[in-house]
Amino acid sequence: MSNRIIKLSRNTENAPITAESTQSVAFSHYNNISAQLPIEPKTGKLISNEVKEQALQCLKNIESIVKSIDHVKEDIIKITVFVKNIEDINAIDSIYADFFQNEFPTRTVVAVADLPMDNALVQMDVLISNGEGTYPQAPCALLKMARNTNNAPTNEMSTQTVAFSHYNNISAQLPIDPVTNQLITGDVTEQTTQCLKNIKAILESIDVPFDDIVKVNIFHKNASDIDAINKAYTTFFPDSAIARTHAYVPARTTVIAADLPMGALVQIDVVVSHGDGTPPQAIEDRHGIVIKANNTNNAPLSLLSTQTVAFSHYNHISAQLPINPQSNKVEVNTIAEQTEQCLNNIKAIVESINHDMDDIVKVNIQLKNISDIAAVNEIYTTFFNSDLPARTVIGVSDISMNALIQIDAVVSNAEGTPPQQ
């Protein structure tokens, strides 16, 4: 890849350090922070068994990392909160609201089957703005643009859309009627449709077309609902004549959640390209920077997602199952073999766009058995030669095709996408 822009990986002793990830990995105008457990950094142990104290420790660890790179918590663009018990979210929010006060990022909340540390009740990861860019970019005083519309559900704990530089992150949308602010009645197909309608309303409020979405994350409660979800999903993508001509669909990850807020069956968040950038960047033709989508036959293909979708200086990789791309089947059984196959698929995608594994800035891993993490790590670290990416690991109750593991990634893209240089 081009070395015009350099990935910057950093750790601080004021937050927990692990051998399998880097706390903070910056590239261009964004910085990816590894998921933080409620670990006291000096002892390396869980802070307590009480969820409020655990939530506060997660946020303190995040703040320590952010401060260590000369940023402030107001630079946080997006936060994902993983909980063991969805009913804990009210207790967590009492801490969360005090921490963020009036500067709420976009947010996704999901209950998961397990977390990487015994007795951990909560885990959080964040994405932060990085106005100074990474070497040799010159620092620039870009503004964060946080916006809400009444045409989609509002939440006092999150902002619907937060843009920075050439990306825009949308808070997870539940199947809520924005007029009543209540969950709609209906099956999972109708709930999926409502989630996507809410996302569309948010995008329309900031004059962004639906096909500017580059990554979609779908959280659903029942594995058997995926066909019904896809039925609704395909009525929204592709959205425009240009997208239909190119059969464009975003990169995608699906997660089977243990539970979702309000008892919903499905929840969706998205990442959006933002061609005009944020002030004081000059407003350009929205198509002046183009989305670059790519597939390779060396990794599994899907009609529902594009393997890799690049925009500006980032590239989003669809979640990879341990599928043999030639047979399109899961042909290996052990967690070590399945981990290797997932990572080989990611490697094939990354290499197909003339990048390498060390260009990855963030990795997200789903495991059916959280106890498999040690075996995963033995394989995982062999795929990288330099500083490891930021990372988030969660335990889930099920994974598509009865797989034991699924992995997605975000890749640095120093060359940018045309016509950006």
| 388-410 pLDDT tens trace | 999 999 999 999 999 999 999 99
Task: Pull the structure tokens for residue 365.
Answer: 């891993």
| 79-132 pLDDT tens trace | 999 999 999 999 999 999 999 998 899 999 999 999 999 999 999 999 999 999
| 145-184 pLDDT tens trace | 999 999 999 999 999 999 999 999 999 999 999 999 999 9
Report which residue type is found at 241: A
Smallest Cα–Cα separation from 394: which of 255, 218, 216, 217?
255
Task: Pull the structure tokens for residue 60.
Answer: 């303190």
Q: What is the DSSP string of 189-247?
A: HHHHHHHHHHHHHHHHHTT--GGGEEEEEEEES-GGGHHHHHHHHTTTSS-SHHHHHHT
State yes or no: pLDDT of 1 exceeds 50.
no
State yes or no: pLDDT of 238 exceeds 90.
no
Q: What is the per-residue pLDDT for 285?
A: 54
Angstrom distance (rounded) from CA 17 to CA 298: 35
Smallest Cα–Cα separation from 82: which of 2, 172, 155?
172
Question: Domains plus CATH for the chain?
Answer: 1-140 (3.30.1330.40)
What does DSSP assign to residue 313?
T
Angstrom distance (rounded) from CA 123 to CA 386: 26
Q: Which residues contact 316 (CB under 8 A, 6 or more apart)?
A: 214, 215, 250, 251, 271, 308, 309, 310, 408, 410, 411
Number of H helices, E strands in the chain: 7, 24
- The number of beta carbons lying within 10 Å of the beta carbon of residue 116 is 19
Query: How many angstroms separate the Cα of 363 from the Cα of each of 144, 241, 257, 378?
Result: 25, 33, 19, 16
State yes or no: pLDDT of 421 exceeds 80.
no
Angstrom distance (rounded) from CA 304 to CA 104: 32
Q: What is the per-residue pLDDT for 102?
A: 85
- The number of beta carbons lying within 10 Å of the beta carbon of residue 195 is 30
Q: What is the per-residue pLDDT for 183?
A: 97
Using CA atoms in the order 379, 411, 206, 82, what is the torsion angle rounded to 10 degrees? 20
Give helix 335-352 / helix 373-380 axis angle, nearest 10°.
40
